[in-house]
Amino acid sequence: MRTSDPLPGGITSSKLFTLSALNLNPTFHNVPLRPVRFFSPEVELTRRVDGSLLMRSAEPLGDYDSRVGEWLDRWAQEAPARTFIIEQTPTGERCISYGEARKSVLLLAEGLLEYGLGPERPLAILAENGIDHALIMLAGLYVGIPIAPVAPAYALQSIDFAKLSHAFKLLTPGMVVVDDAELYRQPIEHALKTDIPVIALRNASASAKWRDLASLKADGSRHDEVRAAAAQVGRQTIAKFLFTSGSTGMPKVVINTHGMICCNSQMKRQVAPFLAEEPPVMVDWAPWNHTAGSNSNFSITLHNGGTLYIDPGKPTPAKFGASLELLRRVSPTIYFNVPRGYELLIPHLKADPAFREHFFRRLKFLWYAAASMQPATWFDLERLAVETVGHRILTVSGLGMTETAPIALFGNANASGPGVVGIPVAGVELKLIPDDNSFEVRYRGPNVTPGYWRDPAATAAAFDEEGFLRSGDLLSFIDPERPQAGLRFDGRMNEVFKLDSGTKVSAGKLRLDALDALRPLAHEVVVAGADRKDVRILIFPDWEVCAAAAGLDCSAEPAQIASNPTLRAMFHERLAKLYAAGTGSSNRIVAGLLVESPPSSAAGELTEKGTVNSRALQRNRPELVDALFGDTDERVLRVESV
């Protein structure tokens, strides 16, 4: 099928993103993009007799490396003095060059070889992003020892340490590295049932049995063994064990090979060819126990000989100040964040022309992930860039998962807009299975995992009969007659539920629509209604924004703000518009409840990406769901007589 042909089978687009739909000012939208080499290949789309579609980029995947350690070798030789990582410390900055990093990595790798580590006894790491974390991570990767970055929240935001115990049981690590012995001693001693070496990057003396990182470094006398071990590492060698979010149960362990990571980095180079022309500079907070932070952002830096500033902040009101402080000193060439991070950044860009000029000065593109960006945020970024540097800065997202290392689709100048996740990157083939007005997407390519560690049943269930990985994501075409315009994210299949009438509800799509309508007053919603008569939402307001909108002091308590008549009228008006946009019980939201207590990470209600785990939250807070559907609670905002 030619890319100019319309989509078959009468499938219609979920939404065409015209200028009016995006609410963009044509004056800004027609301003040229900053000239940057970025991909915009044609796509090949084939209809099959079973009704499914196959979609892939017309651009073939180029050659790629066989092991991650090759990148460190390359830059230590070609640019040994170039700064690799910069970490913020209580006393200033700590930096390490590529030459220094490789020297430390080789000594640590030599030390690791003494412990008989491997796939059956991997190196588990519980630590925040930092130079020492990077060095021990690269040491394992260099000699083919699988690393297993475990979310610190498993240890530090838990009472029973159930997920940490589950992780150790699945991994059977041969060594554990922790950030701080004082913080991790109790959870590690509780969850780790075997007597294995534990290395603490700080405060090792807090435990009599634990050692510091320096004690792991060898003397360099066994470099031949290090080189021999590195020579055995290839594309099929396991590089990492990464955990899924565990939103529907205990996390699974995803096998990531060196080949997956290396080919995914080549895919990114073909998405953004300028990466190979100018070493990137990134300011990034994304944790390395997550695929976006490690396989994507860390790999972009290392693969292309760039410099990574570790951002000590987070995209939350309480922690974003640290991110701002760093961004005021460093002009990135690529900036990655979740939409909430951009929402926190924009007011500061608006208020400070000098900061705005500094931020946009050498940006090649803006990249967001984990959630859909709101049109107002998109427009603000375009307008601010044009006013500051005279060009629009390409703002793009993509789609992938831990099982695809991670990117599988990515946007470009011809496939861009809020909610647009782009087209397949080179080397990835999509299978699109019709599902109502959307498509279930499945992946096949060299970046796809071979399976889940020690879980053959989950591995078998993850792949279809043709070897395509079932993602569970739902997509739709932006323009059915132009597949190269890209695909839009419509939510996840496991977010679908049924009303008591049997009507199917796509909660993921409704969540995105509700956020479009309620931001900036609300930063998250949970769609509820399984086995109920209608659809309603739990609303998590941005209390500072709400207080300002209602004319209240920002220090007011959530209960006081939530009961303010002016604010309730604002929410009611927006909910009424949402209700009016619905066409039936499957997509008509009839009521909402402002939730005063934010989602709890410790209770599993909030993911590391900052999104709410809807199942966990509704399970943990049945009283909220009962109030929402009880029809007697005065806090509930109703837009239909119920």
- Answer whether residue 612 shows pLDDT above 90: no
- Average the pLDDT over 413-431 and give the result: 92
**β 535-541/522-528 pair status:** antiparallel
What would the mean pLDDT of 336-352 be, rounded to a whole number? Answer: 94
Residue 336 neighbours by CB under 8 Å, 6+ apart: 282, 284, 286, 292, 296, 297, 367, 368, 369
Which amino acid would we find at residue 109?
Answer: A
- Can you say how many angstroms the Cα of residue 205 is from the centroid of all Cα atoms in its chain? 35
In this predicted structure, what is the pLDDT of residue 17? Answer: 33
Cα 254 to Cα 24, 241, 436, 453, distances in angstroms = 40, 6, 30, 6
| pLDDT given at position 51 | 93
pLDDT tier at 397, thresholds 50, 70, 90:
very high
- Residue 4: the pLDDT is 36
pLDDT of residue 208: 86
| Residue 641 banded pLDDT, cuts 50, 70, 90 | low
Is residue 251 reached through a cis peptide bond, with omega within 30 degrees of 0 on the bond before it?
no
Residue 452 DSSP code:
B
Radius of gyration of the chain (CA): 25
Residue 26, pLDDT > 90, answer no
- pLDDT at position 355 is 98
pLDDT value of position 22: 37
From the centroid of its chain, how far is CA 178? 23
pLDDT tier for residue 247 given thresholds of 50, 70 and 90? low
Ramachandran region, residue 212 (left: φ > 0; alpha: ψ -120 to 50; beta: rest) = beta
Quote the pLDDT of residue 246: 66
Q: How large is the average pLDDT for residues 378-407? A: 95
Q: Mean pLDDT over residues 346-351, rounded?
A: 97
Cα–Cα distance measured from residue 375 to residue 395, given in angstroms and rounded to the nearest whole number: 12
Tokens of 353: 């022309």
At residue 509, the pLDDT reads: 82
Please tell me if the domain spanning 43-63+274-492 has the same topology as the one spanning 499-638. Answer: no
Residue 344, classed as helix, strand or coil, is helix
pLDDT of residue 92: 93
The mean pLDDT of 53-76, rounded to a whole number, is: 98
**Phi then psi for 234, rounded to 5 degrees?**
-140, -170
What pLDDT is recorded for position 609?
A: 60
Distance CA 62, CA 265 (A): 11
The secondary structure of 413-427 as a DSSP string is TTB-STTEEEEEPTT
Sheet-wide strand order for 420-424:
43-47, 53-57, 429-435, 438-444, 469-477, 487-492, 420-424, 407-410, 398-400
Model confidence band, residue 3 (pLDDT cutoffs 50, 70, 90)? very low
Say whether pLDDT at 81 is over 70.
Answer: yes
Residue spans of the domains in the chain: they are 43-63+274-492, 99-233, 499-638
Instruction: Report the C-alpha gap between 607 and 322 in whole angstroms.
Output: 21
Residue 161: CA count within 13 A, CB half-sphere: 17
Least confident of 79-93, 139-153, 456-470, 518-532: 518-532
Q: What is the mean pLDDT of residues 118-122?
A: 98
The burial class, CB within 10 Å (0-12 / 13-18 / 19+), for 354 is: exposed
Mean pLDDT of all residues in 392-405:
95
Residue 264 CA to residue 407 CA, distance in Å, equals: 7
* Mean pLDDT computed over 570-578: 95
**pLDDT tens across 439-473, in order?**
999 999 999 999 999 999 999 999 999 999 999 99
Residue type at 597 in one-letter notation: S
Q: Is 385 left (phi over 0), alpha (psi -120 to 50) or beta?
A: alpha
Contact status, residue 526 vs residue 598, Cβ threshold 8 Å: no
- For 196-205, the CB contacts below 8 A with 24+ separation are 197/115, 199/136, 199/175, 201/127, 201/130, 201/132, 201/133, 201/136, 201/177, 205/181
The pLDDT of residue 418 is above 90: no
Q: How many other CB atoms are found less than 10 A from the CB of residue 5?
A: 12
CATH 3.30.70.260 fits 43-63+274-492, yes or no: no
**What is the average per-residue pLDDT within 328-336?**
98
What pLDDT, on a 0 to 100 scale, did the predictor assign at position 40?
A: 86
Q: Between 3.40.50.720, 3.40.50.10190, 3.40.50.980, 3.40.50.300, what CATH number should domain 99-233 receive?
A: 3.40.50.980
492 or 135, greater pLDDT: 135
Q: What's the one-letter identity of residue 305?
A: G
- Assess whether pLDDT exceeds 60 at residue 129: yes
Where does 499-638 sit in CATH, by number? 3.30.300
Q: How confident is the model at residue 427 (pLDDT cuts 50, 70, 90)?
A: very high
The identity of residue 346, as a single letter, is I
- pTM summary value: 0.88
CA distance 633 to 626: 9
Question: Model confidence at 496, in pLDDT bands (50, 70, 90)?
Answer: confident
The two tokens of residue 194 are 């075997």
Residue type, 27: T
Quick one: pLDDT at residue 99?
98
